[in-house]
Amino acid sequence: MDLQSKIILISGPTASGKSKFAIKLAKKINGEIINADSMQVYKELSIISARPRLTNYQNIKHHLYGFQNVKRNFSTGDWLKLAIKKIAEVKKRDKIPILVGGTGLYFKAILEGLVKIPNIPIQLRSKIRNLHKALGQKVFYQKLLILDPKLKNKIVSTDSQRSIRAYEVKKFTKISILDWFKNTNSNFDESQFLKILIDYPREELILKINLRTEEMIKMGAIKEVKKFIKLKVPRNKSVNKAIGISEIKEYLDKKKELTEIKDKISIKTRQYAKRQSTWARGNMNNWLKLNPKEMNKFLKKIK
């Protein structure tokens, strides 16, 4: 299998062993690893985000891990710019870039490009959100279809987030969000990618998630969250949604016992893994699916 000219993408649900698989593959093909996980970019959250540890790098170069301050905004667009730059740097060294992570939007951005919609004024955004709140999703959706008929059967009628976004884009730019998407292009050709999706059996994955929760606590997740709380990160930052922060905070506030918060973290992680799998079914149908046995077979084929 000739991978010399490829950019390799490895995705899959949390705790499915993506990082270990990527390191084994990188060793065989002279590759370097680029992070594609939105929480693993933050330097203050190494344990909570399950960021690969330096001791596990095994002399393979890793990029875009633990470099971003939790107080700063970091968007998919920010990641895409850095990822494109890193891919070029890795290729310049005659190495193979391997992008690894569980953030579906990052992979979508690298494969399809990112929509360059102008920034919409905050006043208009607030006005539209207030309108949505007053009307409710059902009536708001009908109003959206009058404003932008192209969206019929393109946005699910119950999807309030996409409905609001489509409404504000059409209202401000006078152009349908669908047309913005049509005019978006990737920096790469589709043929440049080898796309691998780790397809882990659900029951085995649940066991792995439970074990990883225990390991995180042992490694010092509570201490890490304590430090994070002291930073007083604004509530509107998406980093606050990292699984484990609110649960450990409950333990620190003596509202929950340690066993309870471990259960909550495991349950939330399982729910997140399910959402990742749902995303994959809808957006990664043409990816090469590998279960644990097939992962090993795949590695053996590589020369």
Each residue's pLDDT tens digit, 133-148 = 999 999 999 999 999 9
Q: Do residues 221 and 58 lie in contact, with contact meaning Cβ atoms separated by under 8 Å?
A: no
The string of pLDDT tens digits covering residues 69-128 is 999 989 999 999 999 999 999 999 999 999 999 999 999 999 999 888 888 999 999 999
* pLDDT computed for residue 1 by the predictor: 59
Domain shared by 155 and 280, yes or no: no
* pLDDT computed for residue 119 by the predictor: 87
Reported in sequence order, the residue ranges of 230-282 that DSSP labels E, i.e. its strands, are none
Residue 35 has phi, psi (to 5 degrees) of: -70, 135
Domain shared by 86 and 204, yes or no: yes
Residue 148: CATH number of its domain: 1.10.20
Residue 248 has phi, psi (to 5 degrees) of: -70, -30
In a domain, 2, yes or no: no
Domain shared by 20 and 74, yes or no: yes
Number of structural domains in the chain: 2
**Cα 88 to Cα 82: distance, rounded to the nearest angstrom:** 10
Q: In terms of residue numbers, what domain contains 96?
A: 7-113+186-301
CA distances from 166 to 31, 92, 110 (A): 40, 40, 22
pLDDT (mean) for 20-28: 95
Q: What is the torsion angle, in degrees rounded to the nearest 10, for the CA atoms of residue 92, residue 96, residue 97 and residue 98?
A: -170
- Is residue 181 scored above 90 in pLDDT? no
Query: Radius of gyration (Cα) for the chain, nearest Å?
Result: 21
Q: Check: pTM over 0.75? Answer yes or no.
A: yes
Q: Last residue of a domain, which of 182, 206, 227? A: 182
In a domain, 217, yes or no: yes
Residue 253: CATH number of its domain: 3.40.50.300
Domain shared by 200 and 53, yes or no: yes
